[in-house]
Amino acid sequence: MKRDDQRLILWIAGGIVALRVAGPLLSSIDRIFQGLGISQSAAAASLEAMKRDPQSFWNGQYWRNVSKRTPGGLVKILTNAAVNDLWASLNKAFGYFNDDETAAIAAFRKHIRTQTQLSYFSEWVAKNAGVDLLTWLEGSGYPNDRLSAEEIDIITQYVKKLPVT
């Protein structure tokens, strides 16, 4: 093997090693930037888009708009007992010193069976707690940070798979 061929092989091998080392390092740097708010994760970008989207099932008017398009105007919403239980479960999941994100996500899985039910709950929270549900779930920073954008995305992906009504 010629010397130039050996050099080429060493350069290629060195490049592969450098890429293998740099990949996780760049990923770590990206996560640090996201944590500092310098860059935004895909889940965070999706969360911001859902907040602005009037057709999102996170919007309290979504269930009303769907009912206008449904024969007879019938959509599935939550009972008062289910709404109160879901709200109580969410409030119990978030504490001053520690949060139980798993319990919060489980509360949605327990009660929400349709997209219109989540919308109805969002409207209920806005009327009774005076806050947008997505904004409340996200929190306003320490000590009121509740769910990350990635955790809210878990709920969103679950609800997307549910029937509209």
The pLDDT of residue 38: 55
Q: Across all residues in the chain, what is the average pLDDT?
A: 85
Same domain, 12 and 66: no
Rounded to two decimals, what is the model's pTM? 0.74
Q: Are 35 and 68 contained in the same domain? A: no
Q: What is the residue range of 60's domain?
A: 42-160
3 burial via Cβ count (<10 Å: 0-12, 13-18, 19+): exposed
Establish if 165 belongs to a structural domain. Answer: no
109-131 mean pLDDT: 97
- Is the distance from CB of 61 to CB of 115 less than 8 angstroms? no
Whether 19 has a pLDDT exceeding 90, the answer reads: no
Whether residues 82 and 154 fall in one domain: yes
Specify the number of domains making up the chain: 2
- The C-alpha torsion from 46 through 136 and 130 to 164, rounded to 10°, is 50
Together in a domain, 102 and 58: yes
**Same domain flag for 80 and 138:** yes
Asked whether residue 14 falls in the same domain as residue 29, the answer is yes
Q: Could you tell me if 18 and 69 lie in one domain?
A: no
For the packed helices 42-52 and 149-160, what is the interaxial angle rounded to 10 degrees?
A: 60
pLDDT, residue 17, reads 67
User: If you compute the radius of gyration of the chain from its CA atoms, what whole number of angstroms results?
Assistant: 23
Q: What percent of the chain has pLDDT over 70?
A: 82
Claim to verify: residue 1 and residue 53 sit in the same structural domain: no
